[in-house]
Amino acid sequence: MHLLYWIELFGVVVFAMAGAIEAARNRFDLFGVLVLAFVSALGGGTLRDLLLDISPLAWIRDLTLAYVALISGFAMFLLAKFVRIPFRMLLYADAIGLAAFTVSGTQVSINMGLPGLVVVMMGMASGIFGGIIRDIMANEIPLIFRRDVYATASLVGAVWVYWSQVHQLSPAVSIMVGFLLIMLIRFAAIRWHLSLPSFLNTASYRKENHPEEL
């Protein structure tokens, strides 16, 4: 399906940019930037292909994905030399990439005829893994664990795409709506700092208070 391919390519562009922005914040050199851009952009799809035993990997089958990731990372590297890039841009680029990879991962799994739970999990894994590996490599706690309504947005989109196609909605419509849904939930969460319930009463036993335990 052409639409799916374009959404995936779009996800590669924005995730590569998000990776390059994070590299900028940690003052990586040019190749550090390209590595982080590449891994962010293609990590989620690579994990999905490894878990589902799809071979060869998406970016080996289709080198366009690899070239686009590298070029996007390089462009952001150049841009960051001249313009101050706000942290907020990382969040928004990450949100768009999350939306793109969640729906494409979900659709690939639907096309393989997998059961619903696996479809949803593969969609989520494709969407969130690139960002997780990006943040781990830069030695930060992944956004997913710091930011509100992150995995939730991915979950809602993946469930929507699966549910709507079980109910015979056309894949193209299902994917477009799912993509917008995830993106808008994340944009709203970033804008208004929405959050899910967390371990509110846990502050009293956080590790800072118990250094002797470590």
Site residues for a second copy, 43-62, by CB under 8 A, read 46, 50-53, 55-57, 60
- 28 near a second copy, judged by CB under 8 A: yes
CB 28 to a second copy: min, Å: 5
The window from 1-9, 112-120, 161-169, 178-186 that contacts a second copy (CB under 8 A) reads 112-120
Work out which of 81, 113, 167, 168 binds a second copy, going by CB under 8 A: 81
CB 82 to a second copy: min, Å: 8
47: Cβ contacts below 8 Å, ≥ 6 apart = 125, 126, 129
- 18 near a second copy, judged by CB under 8 A: no
CB 201 to a second copy: min, Å: 6
Work out which of 13, 16, 36, 185 binds a second copy, going by CB under 8 A: 36
**Subset of 149-208 contacting a second copy (CB under 8 A):** 149-152, 155, 195-207
**CA dist., res. 105 & res. 65, Å (int):** 15
- 141 near a second copy, judged by CB under 8 A: yes
Mutual angle of helices 2-25 and 116-137, in 10-degree steps: 30
Tokens 């590669």 -> residue: 12
Work out which of 96, 99, 137, 161 binds a second copy, going by CB under 8 A: 137
Burial of 66 (0-12, 13-18, 19+ CB in 10 A): middle
Measure Cα distances from 180 to 82, 137, 148 in Å. Answer: 31, 29, 18
29: Cβ contacts below 8 Å, ≥ 6 apart = none
CB 177 to a second copy: min, Å: 21
**CA dist., res. 157 & res. 178, Å (int):** 5
CB 93 to a second copy: min, Å: 15
- How far from each other are the two terminal CA atoms of the chain, in whole angstroms? 52
Work out which of 75, 121, 169, 176 binds a second copy, going by CB under 8 A: 121
Work out which of 3, 4, 142, 169 binds a second copy, going by CB under 8 A: 142
**CA dist., res. 176 & res. 65, Å (int):** 21
The window from 32-40, 92-100, 166-174, 180-188 that contacts a second copy (CB under 8 A) reads 32-40
